[in-house]
Structure 1
Amino acid sequence: MAVIKINALDGSVVEFVDEIIGSGAMKDVYFSPCKSYVVAFYRDELDHASIERLEMITGRYRESIFQHETGDYWKSFFCWPEKIVEHDGRIGVVVPSYQAHFFFDYGSVNNDFLNIKGKEKQGKWFASANNQNRFLDDREKGDWSKYLKISLTIARAVRRLHAAGLAHSDLSYKNVLVSPVEGLATIIDVDGLVVPGKYPPDVVGTPDFIAPEVVATAHLSKTDPARCLPNISTDRHALAVLIYNYLLLRHPLRGDKVRDLDPQKDETLSMGEKALFVEHPTNADNRIKLERVKPTELPWKDTNKLPYSITGPYISKLFERAFIDGLHSPQSRPTADEWESALIKSIDLIQPCVNPECKQGWYIFDNTLSPTCPFCGTKYNGLLPVINFYSEREKGRFVSDDHRLMVYTNQSLYRWHTNRFVTPNERLQAHDKKRQGYFVFHNHAWYLVNENMPHLINATTKESYPVGSQIQITDGINLLIGNERGDRLLNIQMVDSDC
């Protein structure tokens, strides 16, 4: 195939192989000879506002995210257009190629009848029980802990967009690539970003992820002040739906209530004005009826067996705000910041299932004396340490941080566990990434090995635990970690699931 060499609008040389490797709704995509980037040309002519938007996305907005001290951190979170090109009367963008882990290593079941081997891992393949169970090789699916990490990555990326004053406008499993084996995700199709008040959306979104107020007013003219168009608050709805999809493999609004006998009107009402959470605690009208559920959708669509509460105290509260309080009140929806914080705390609450055959492998501690994996029903037996974090707000006065850490063999303590002013995000310094200690179970007892905490003492006895020491942890023990900006107290709660 011929290699075409052109100049981007910034003057740099761009090359692409004259062979279409993929086509979307709006663009045709070509590989560069080295395959490190692609060139995507729009099939239709762009108006002046669309070109100006692309100039801002590849220019000022890109620079604001990637060209400063935390810029490298964000490169894996987005597939962000870098340059604008023009060839044969068509405008295009230069975009980095997807990383290797975002392509299927294995085909679909039954000799890859879907022909997905080597194709990109669009999130839609992993966001429903039916798709996972019917089509995907088990080696592509990952375990439940990885979907928590995928959700965290998406929330973090959306938080960064919103902090820059941008809205994605079409956040959905079509525009997110995931790799459940590694727990990674990246947001694609960034060239349609919405700048509120400046660049309106090109599309209203993807069905299943469009906010109810957008669906309900879609029949109005775009110039009608009552028409709701995609913005940051509608992104928040789509983000909540995505997280619910990935963690529970079902849609939060697609129950079995019929609003109208006309299928199109029923769809508009179900996703718009009359949208109702399938797990609404006081209104059961839109429950999922098990008699209508396919075997390949179980157990995920059984909301009695796997209710949203299995996502733990932090995530489940945000689901309630997103799909009960905020479903028809956009101002009440959780922000991407709040999702990020809830997911970080929830990841600290996961524990491994003791059943080696459990397909999900992990679950969130339910704060009971008999922790049980909701996915396979296996109970944990034995002593289970839980760490409750308290921080010093005034001299000698410690306040609960509403943050806990589940302990299991080789569980690690990091700086964000020992100091409330440290958060595991793009601002995390290199020295803060170093592990502070880890836990082991030895001779029927639990121990904390102090690796990097020089100011660790027993808060009650004042006994000092130097770096390198092993501390037996028992119920009620309080460990105090000294910090420059306020100490942190680790209160050990020992759950005895044998009792």
Structure 2
Amino acid sequence: MRLIRSDGSPVQLGAVLASAGEGAIHEVLGHPESVAKVFHADLKDLSGKLAKVQAMIASPPDGAVQSDGFVVLTWPTDLLSDGSRAVGYLMPRIDTSDAVEIHTVSNPSNRANPLPTAPAWTPNVTWSHLVNVAANLCLAVDIVHRVNAVIGDFQERNILVNDTTRVTLVDCDSMQFIDSTGRQYLCGVARPEFTAPELAGMDLARTARGKPSDLFALAVHIHLLLMAGNHPFLRGEWTGPGEQPDALTLAASGQWAGGPGSALRTHPLAPPASFLPHAVQQLCTRAFTDGAHDPTARPTAAEWRETLLGMQLGTCARGHQMPVEADPCPWCHIDDQRLARRSARASYSGRSTDQVVYQVSTPMPAYSSSAQPVLSYPAVPPTAPAPTGNRNLFIVLGVAAAAVLALVLVFLIPSNQKSDQETMTATSRGLDDSYTTSTARSTVTSTTRSTVRSTVAAPPPRVPAAPPPNAKPCGGPVPGIYSHSAAGSDLTSCPFAMSVRDAVNATGHPDPRMVNAYSPVTNKWYAVTCVVEAVLTCRGGNNAVVYVY
């Protein structure tokens, strides 16, 4: 394909490097430093998109490309046309061979287990590298804010990190931008976990964002980098009333994990905010606590960068990197907690998979009518011999007494036998020996059938948790906290559902608030947020819904 630059010079496009919803990225023959984005002809509001790109070209931020050629922003550099109308633009080309999305660095699991096709340097990342990534991200944000632009959709897929910890922001044409005439080109998309609380419930396609909204998302990214991938509003121990509120509600109230006065406490397997230098803790408080009510209180990207670059790092006895002020080492504590949990799970697993040996050494006593208590009656005192004339009367009275006694015995003995049978039935249903003994002893003291039955009645059968009826089960059972997964929408593939299940199991936590899962269908990573509904329900990616149970 041959296109024309704004100065009339021709541009020959080469192979398609990537394709997405808005258009395709082509290499530019003869110009390895650039690539061309060509919009789809049927793109909604194409004219508005091209007008925005043209305005961005007219106001390039200083520092978008560093002096050594490293690209910090893929900012549009020139408009392209087909000779009759504009169809796309040129932008700097970045080297993606050694770059990964930022969640691959901030998430410890993703970092330690790169995909076979991904760069292999991430397992070697240390905490000092993460601090440097955070500082370089601050520089990129500061460069954007040098012009009248707001990143807007400030999520992890738009941030790339290379093996020198340098950061590039991509998809710059989606940013909010205001041109020299005051015309606003808005950013209508956002990810909830990176959205500032003041924007909650607003129509972003019609609402202009302020730069403080970027500073909220920047603080979240820094928290993820420094705090072992823990989101400040998603993972923690909720100590307030009721269920833990969602991330936006917590952000609006200024309650974050371990924050001052927050009901969301630090998770046992997360480092506490107190291990950070005091200056960094203050910036977090300004970003999340003070900024919830006054967005302008949030620290700027330049403030964050200066503080991060000024941190002094040391090493604990086990080799963990941490601020020199930290005592004790948070990573040692987390390692110890994980070891204790693994040991507990292994112990429990051993008990649950091996049958218990319980030798029967003596036979149980037999149950028979002969074992019943013997009914005793007071002895009849001797009487003086009756007169001969009353002999017949005494004989009649004696026969009557014998008949009454026999009748009493007829009723008592069957009653005891029935009670004993009930006792045996109760024993067969699982009562312990002490209960059986007490029941047998109380047989002659008005133990009734209804009493025994009500005591040993089996509990109602437990109904296992299950996803909604319209969910599509995916794959067979696997070992772990959750053995099954199901797709909850037509946009959710089974391979991705199973990947989410595996990511949840990998956390070792029954209800993680957020996980990152790889989709074998799109070959991309996605962050999903999880809440316990009928079963653990995870949402994210491209409107995916996954049930794990």
TM-score (norm 1): 0.56
- Work out the CA distance in 2 between the residues paired with 1:242 and 1:327: 17
Q: Does structure 1 conserve the Cα–Cα contact (< 8 Å) formed by 2:105 and 2:111? A: yes
Aligned to 2:97: 103
Aligned to 2:173: 191
Paired amino acid for 1:21: L
Q: For 1:71-470, what aligned pairs fall within 5 Å after superposition?
A: 72=67, 75-87=70-82, 91-99=87-95, 102-104=96-98, 120-135=99-114, 139-141=121-123, 142-179=125-162, 181-196=163-178, 197-214=182-199, 216-218=200-202, 220=203, 229-248=208-227, 249-255=229-235, 267=246, 269-270=248-249, 273=252, 276-284=255-263, 286-287=264-265, 302-303=269-270, 306-346=271-311, 349-353=312-316, 355=318, 358=319, 362-366=321-325, 373-376=329-332
Indicate the SS of the match to 1:174. helix
- Work out the CA distance in 1 between the residues paired with 2:260 and 2:63: 43
1:46-69 superposed Cα distances (whole Å, 9 cap, x missing partner): 45443232112122x21x5259xx
1:363-415 superposed Cα distances (whole Å, 9 cap, x missing partner): 21117xxx65432479xxxxxxxxxxxxxxxxxxxxxxxxxxxxxxxxxxxxx
Structure richer in strand, relative to its length: 1
Paired amino acid for 2:139: R
- Work out the CA distance in 1 between the residues paired with 2:226 and 2:333: 17
Equivalent residue in structure 2 for 1:11, among 8, 11, 16: 8
Closer, same or farther: CA 93–158 of 1 in aligned 2, 3 Å? same
Q: 1:45 Cα shift?
A: 4.9
1:15-40 superposed Cα distances (whole Å, 9 cap, x missing partner): 222x4322234232122235432211
Q: Does structure 2 conserve the Cα–Cα contact (< 8 Å) formed by 1:46 and 1:91? A: no
Q: Does structure 2 conserve the Cα–Cα contact (< 8 Å) formed by 1:155 and 1:336? A: yes
- Work out the CA distance in 2 between the residues paired with 1:25 and 1:288: 39
Q: Does structure 2 conserve the Cα–Cα contact (< 8 Å) formed by 1:45 and 1:91? A: no
Aligned to 1:23: 19
Closer, same or farther: CA 103–157 of 1 in aligned 2, 3 Å? same
Indicate the SS of the match to 1:91. strand
Paired amino acid for 2:157: K
1:233-286 superposed Cα distances (whole Å, 9 cap, x missing partner): 1011111111111111111111365999999xx6575466456312223222x3
Indicate the SS of the match to 1:170. coil
Indicate the SS of the match to 2:149. coil
1:409-465 superposed Cα distances (whole Å, 9 cap, x missing partner): xxxxxxxxxxxxxxxxxxxxxxxxxxxxxxxxxxxxxxxxxxxxxxxxxxxxxxxxx
Q: Does structure 1 conserve the Cα–Cα contact (< 8 Å) formed by 2:27 and 2:36? A: yes
Give the RMSD, CA atoms, in angstroms. Answer: 3.5
Indicate the SS of the match to 2:192. coil
Paired amino acid for 2:53: L
Query: Which 5+ residue runs of structure 2 have no aligned equivalent?
Result: 335-549
Closer, same or farther: CA 71–14 of 1 in aligned 2, 3 Å? same
Aligned to 1:295: none
- Work out the CA distance in 2 between the residues paired with 1:336 and 1:372: 29
Q: 1:208 Cα shift?
A: 1.6
- Asked which structure has the greater RCO (Cα within 8 Å, sep 6+), the reply is 1
User: Identity over the aligned pairs, expressed in percent?
Assistant: 21
User: Bigger radius of gyration, 1 or 2?
Assistant: 2
Paired amino acid for 1:91: V
Aligned to 1:65: 62
Higher deviation after alignment, 138-147 or 182-191:
138-147
- Work out the CA distance in 2 between the residues paired with 1:262 and 1:8: 57
Indicate the SS of the match to 2:177. coil
- Work out the CA distance in 1 between the residues paired with 2:132 and 2:187: 30
Q: 1:128 Cα shift?
A: 2.0
Structure richer in helix, relative to its length: 2
Closer, same or farther: CA 377–288 of 1 in aligned 2, 3 Å? closer
Q: Does structure 1 conserve the Cα–Cα contact (< 8 Å) formed by 2:251 and 2:288? A: no
- Work out the CA distance in 1 between the residues paired with 2:279 and 2:234: 23
Paired amino acid for 2:2: K
- Work out the CA distance in 2 between the residues paired with 1:75 and 1:58: 19
TM-score (norm 2): 0.52
Q: Does structure 2 conserve the Cα–Cα contact (< 8 Å) formed by 1:212 and 1:275? A: no
Closer, same or farther: CA 125–345 of 1 in aligned 2, 3 Å? same
Paired amino acid for 1:55: Q
Q: 1:97 Cα shift?
A: 1.7
- Work out the CA distance in 1 between the residues paired with 2:185 and 2:239: 33
Closer, same or farther: CA 363–252 of 1 in aligned 2, 3 Å? same
Q: Does structure 1 conserve the Cα–Cα contact (< 8 Å) formed by 2:74 and 2:172? A: yes
